[in-house]
Structure 1
Amino acid sequence: MKKQAYPFIFLLALLFMIVGTCRYSPGEAAGNESLRPLRTIARVLQNNGIEPKQWIVYTREYSQQIQNDAAFFQKLDELKRENRAFRWSFEASHHVKKATGIYKRPFFQEKIQLIMTATKDKPQTYILYEVKGLNWSEKIWEKATKEIEKKSNQLFVKQPTFFTCMNGEFSGNMKGGLFHNALHLLREFQATPVESLQEESLVSLSAYTEQWDSVLPTNDHPMNIQLALRERLGGKTSIVVGTPIITIEY
């Protein structure tokens, strides 16, 4: 992963490629393990005077059984029957069919997507699941975790790999500069930097920590955490932490 390629918005196509490359230690339950880091991220942010705000959990699975339009719409009917509380929409172009279901709960939102893309050989179909919250508390996370595990068992054949991401805001003056504070936060995660990007008002770091079993192989070193700090108007600094990679705008 090249430094200049760090995205502000993580592209869907890149996520498709990366999710399948994450590795887990033998004998570990990948889905449960890959949900744990979000609680750790929230604790580290709070311990450093940073207020956790938006958080996202994201996963997807390739469906080998859906290889034509008939199978796609049959699966869509099944998803609608099993998720009646969701509001569904559908859009299509020459190359892509996408159905989206959204359910807005009191403290977080669930989204299911069924996407089929045309390729030279045969269509590729994915089921995507995302949970997004605008507030953080242990009580909210406990409720969200139960729904995530329940919905994952319904949607996916295999135990999925979850991407987790959280942003926060520090309203005081950060002493020592962005890069110094980014390194301090990485030490809180017991993480070793792998790559970095530094600009006048933005610092982004990729790193590796042995705390978490997920590993994203790169050309040189494995990584499983990304962290970004950006200075904003009014003396505020926004912080985004993701594992194994940032998946929301920063």
Structure 2
Amino acid sequence: MKKRQAYAFTFLLALFAIVAMCQYRSGEAMGNGSLQPLKTIAHVLENHGVTIRQWTVYTREYAHDIENDAAFFKKLAELKKANRAFRWSFDTNHHLKKATGTYQHPFFQEKIQLIMTVVNNQPQTYILYEVKGLNWNDEIWKEVVEKIGKKSNQLFVKQPTFFTCIQGDFSDNMKGGLFDYALHLLREFQAKPVESLQEESLVSLSAYTGQWENVLPTSSDHPMNLQLALRKRLGGTTSVVVGTPIITIEY
């Protein structure tokens, strides 16, 4: 039963993420593209004894001028030329063309994707950019900000909106229940809960904080721009994932 519930929750999370990305594409997710939320989340979690295990920064842009195969491959050639150090791969089927380039830095990885899909017999193309790492400190933060700034200027026409997410582990001496501690963390972000899910070993909250401009609507018509999840794991540890405006790391 618990396994089925976990599958159902994972499906709902993925569905919500897809809807959120579509809203971001259409301009409903607002914001100035600042990376400050990533640093704020890391600071709050580290202050609560969390060991950071993974972090991601994600953004994308609709390439409205790429409407056929010729334009797709022309753009791909431009991306490869501008990012020669990246390792590139290409996949295709009847409804999808996807080129992926990756570059592994000492402490994080960059990924660029050019994706063309067919929707209602019309091609739609997106440029996606993701940076993710397993370690975190101030030096990595400075390098990440510099790298993302340069790459964003190269890849995108407009200033992009970033989805940021951090996953980590509490020590096994975390006090109190999951829900109470989740609310405590929300207060650290000056956030108010909007929606929640509670299970025996899992708590997930959607919330709104005035610290960040990036906002998405919810099913209850309240704005949200922060998601937080706590899960108890075998061995006594508790994992935490925090994302804005949504969680983009599987948990």
Q: TM-score, normalised by structure 2?
A: 0.92
Deviation of the 1:217 alpha carbon: 1.7
Match of 1:246 in 2: 247
CA shift for structure 1 position 173: 2.3
1:36 aligns with 2:43: no
Q: Secondary structure at the match of 2:90?
A: strand
Q: How many aligned residue pairs are there?
A: 240
Deviation per residue, 1:78-109 (Å, 9 max, x gap)? 00000000000000010000000000000000
Question: What displacement does 1:18 show?
Answer: 3.0
Change (3 A) 1:8 1:237: farther
Do the aligned partners of 2:30 and 2:161 also contact (CA within 8 Å) in 1?
A: no
Equivalent pair of 1:9/1:248 in contact (CA under 8 Å):
no
Question: Is the alpha carbon distance of 1:145 and 1:10 closer, same or farther for their aligned partners in structure 2, counting shifts above 3 Å?
Answer: farther
**One-letter amino acid matched to 1:238:** S
**Structure 1 residues 8, 139: CA separation in 2 closer, same or farther (over 3 Å shift)?**
farther
Listed as ranges, the matches of 1:78-227 within 5 Å are 78-219=78-219, 220-227=221-228
| Cα separation, 1, equivalents of 2:248 and 2:183 | 20
Amino acid at match of 1:23: M
Cα shift at 1:218:
2.1
Deviation at 1:120, TM superposition (A): 2.0
Corresponding residue for 2:4?
A: none
User: CA separation in 1, counterparts of 2:131 and 2:99?
Assistant: 16
Once the 2 structures are TM-superposed, how far is the Cα of residue 214 of structure 1 from its aligned partner?
1.0
CA distance in 2, matches of 1:153, 1:9: 31
- Aligned-residue offset at 1:166: 0.2
4+ aligned runs moved over 3 Å, structure 1: 4-16
Instruction: Name the stretch that deviates more: 209-218 or 140-149.
Output: 209-218
| AA at the equivalent of 2:22 | M
* Post-superposition offset of 1:213: 1.1
The percentage of counterpart residues that share the same residue type is 68
- Residue type at the aligned position of 1:228: A
Report the Cα distance in structure 1 between the residues aligned to 2:244 and 2:183, rounded to whole angstroms.
Answer: 16
- The structure 1 residue matched to 2:21, chosen from 16, 20, 37, is 16
Offset at 1:36? 0.6
13-22 vs 219-228, which moves further: 13-22
| Separation (CA, whole Å) in 2 of partners of 1:197 and 1:13 | 19
Pair 158,65 (structure 1): closer, same or farther in 2 beyond 3 Å: same
Distance 1:143 1:17 in 2: 30
For the structure 1 residues 217 and 239, does the alpha-carbon distance in structure 2 shift closer, same or farther, using more than 3 Å as the test?
Answer: same
Residue 27 (structure 1) aligns with: none
What letter corresponds to residue 94 of structure 1 in structure 2? H
SS at match of 1:222: coil
Distance 2:229 2:12 in 1: 10
Deviation track 1:151-193 (CA, whole Å, cap 9, x = no partner) reads: 0000000000000000110122222111111010001101000
Gapped regions of structure 1 (runs ≥ 5)? 25-29
Distance 1:192 1:9 in 2: 20
Gaps of 5+ in 2: 1-7
Q: Is the 8 A contact 2:20 2:216 kept in 1?
A: no
**Alpha-carbon offset, residue 15 of structure 1:** 4.8
- The alpha-carbon deviation at position 49 of structure 1 amounts to 1.0
In structure 2, C-alpha distance between the alignment counterparts of 1:8 and 1:143, rounded to whole Å = 34
Give the Cα–Cα distance (whole angstroms) in 2 for the partners of residues 223 and 6 of structure 1.
Answer: 19
Amino acid at match of 2:110: E
